[in-house]
Structure 1
Amino acid sequence: MLTAFLDLVLPARCAGCARAGAVVCPACAAELDADPCPRAPSPPPRGLPDCWAAARYEGAPRRAVLAYKERGRTALARPLAASLTATLVAALRATGLDAPFALVPIPSSRGAVRRRGHDPVGRLAELAVRALRSQGGPVTLAPVLAQRRRVRDQAGLSASQRAANLAGAFGVRHAGSAREHPLWGRSGPVAVLVDDIVTTGTTLAEAAVALRREGVKVPLAVTLAATPRRAR
């Protein structure tokens, strides 16, 4: 893509504040993973796993995620993946999950991948798995989720509209071979979901339902950022 090419030939500018010198400056990088903690929406949808996020979806984190996801700044994959990995490590320590597990990215539609020119969440999950495995983590990448039908763009939809839009939208590909993978847990397959942003939690909840239907335990989901949402 043109933006990715320009990142290579022009001086880097921070995606968070536009300061010259790096794709993410130290100050904005600190905002990206300043406070990894549970950030479930309120009220959470039924079936939502324990949900952690690196930051609130505002300021520098919001600008960086949008630049990476929608504006083709693929050089942001590594700093964003580092933030995601730090959040996952914090969540694993807090929840006590230490058995082998699989990192399962929320899939983009084929149309979205064509439009963006890349699969943003899939790439983040791949880099996070690589980082964890380099430290001896018992994790593997399992992109086994797929959209079973076409869904609307979620932007601008209310919580109830998102729920209706995504109901039954996910399926598990090659469930049998996935369950037999040796790193999916000693007492059965275990998955941790990965996404970029959590808003109402509907996407993560529907993905968890699809995996659980195949006998997969889904105790945790991690994201880069969470949209602040309060119960009415």
Structure 2
Amino acid sequence: MRGWWQDLTDLVLPAECGGCGRPRTVLCQECRAALSGAVPRRVRPVPEPPGLPAVRAAAPYGDEVRAVLLAHKERGALTLTGALGAALAGAVRAGLPAAGRTGGRAGGPVLLVPVPSARRAVRARGHDPVRRIALAAAGELRRGGTPARVVAVLRQRRAVADQSGLDWRRRLDNLAGALEVTAGGARLLGGGRLVLVDDLITTGASLTEAARAVREALVRDGRRTVVYAHATREEMGERMAGSTGGTVIRAAVIAAPPDSFEKNRN
């Protein structure tokens, strides 16, 4: 686990770029551009899991972006949190209706719901990277005029296997039913625009399970309808939500595999 002296060292000693290793900079201009220099876009894994909400990603998961995410997550390079939060905020903003991208309050504040890490992983790393990035993203959104806050209401209710060696189908099976909304958490999700957030999407299994848990909690809480902004039917989903008082569940991530970005589809 990280000690306070390690956090202090990160702040006062010369650093190296989290993406390429260039000395005396936390994140060089080239790696910062790779992380958040492009317009966030819609991503869809293949195959796309049923129930996966519409996902926006800030950057392709390439060498520099991968290095930055791993440095923050696994090596505790907390000075990268601001840049990662800014990238995530851009993806969140890109998925909002037009009225919500310019500071409008249509639909209430943006509620960022981080996908939770396993407790053992949080203990080993000394921090919860997705929650930390979500807090930075909420701050970035507020500075841009969009009201936003983090609502960390998801938790794991059972242990899951390491996802790294599993294919898409086994990942879905591994995570099915693994998450739940904390007691009373559904009430915290009212009156806002819900955006599930994670650092990375690969198969979409984690976000699909998070969406299921949130949806079921909202239904139990008496919400009339929950509408997924799914595939190419997002505008229809927005109209249905407006007419029924339902909730649209969206998602945003920092990075996704290059071949999952829609513009690369044939």
Give TM-score scaled by structure 1 length.
Answer: 0.88
Q: Contact 1:211–1:218 (CA<8 Å) still a contact in 2? A: no
Deviations 1:156-198 (A, max 9, x none): 21111101110000100134x542x4x732xxx6410000100
* 1:127 partner letter: A
Q: Name 1:113's counterpart in structure 2.
A: 122
Q: Which of the residues 107, 110, 122 maps onto 1:99?
A: 107
Q: Contact 1:199–1:229 (CA<8 Å) still a contact in 2? A: no
Structure 1 residue 33 corresponds to structure 2 residue 63? no
Structure 1 residue 224 corresponds to structure 2 residue 254? yes
Q: Contact 2:154–2:182 (CA<8 Å) still a contact in 1? A: yes
Structure 1: runs of 5 or more not aligned = none
* 1:82 partner letter: A
Comparing 142-151 and 222-231, the one that deviates more: 222-231
CA-based RMSD: 2.3
Map residues 166-177 of structure 1 onto 2, 5 A cutoff: 166-175=175-184
Q: Name 1:206's counterpart in structure 2.
A: 209
Name the count of aligned residue pairs.
225
Residues 8, 131 of structure 1: alpha-carbon distance in 2 compared, 3 angstrom cutoff: closer
Residues 135, 144 of structure 1: alpha-carbon distance in 2 compared, 3 angstrom cutoff: same
Residues 81, 47 of structure 1: alpha-carbon distance in 2 compared, 3 angstrom cutoff: same
TM superposition shift of 1:90? 2.0
Q: Name 1:152's counterpart in structure 2.
A: 161
Q: In structure 1, how many angstroms separate the alpha carbons of the residues matched to 2:72 and 2:11?
A: 15
TM superposition shift of 1:92? 1.7
Q: In structure 2, how many angstroms separate the alpha carbons of the residues matched to 1:8 and 1:139?
A: 27
Q: Name 1:138's counterpart in structure 2.
A: 147
Q: In structure 2, how many angstroms separate the alpha carbons of the residues matched to 1:152 and 1:95?
A: 41
Q: In structure 1, how many angstroms separate the alpha carbons of the residues matched to 2:7 and 2:149?
A: 28
Structure 1 residue 184 corresponds to structure 2 residue 185? no
State the percentage of identical aligned residues.
Answer: 46
TM superposition shift of 1:71? 1.2
Deviations 1:29-56 (A, max 9, x none): 0000133111121221011010111111
* 1:67 partner letter: A
Query: Which has more radius of gyration?
Result: 2
Q: In structure 2, how many angstroms separate the alpha carbons of the residues matched to 1:191 and 1:27?
A: 32
Give TM-score scaled by structure 2 length.
Answer: 0.77
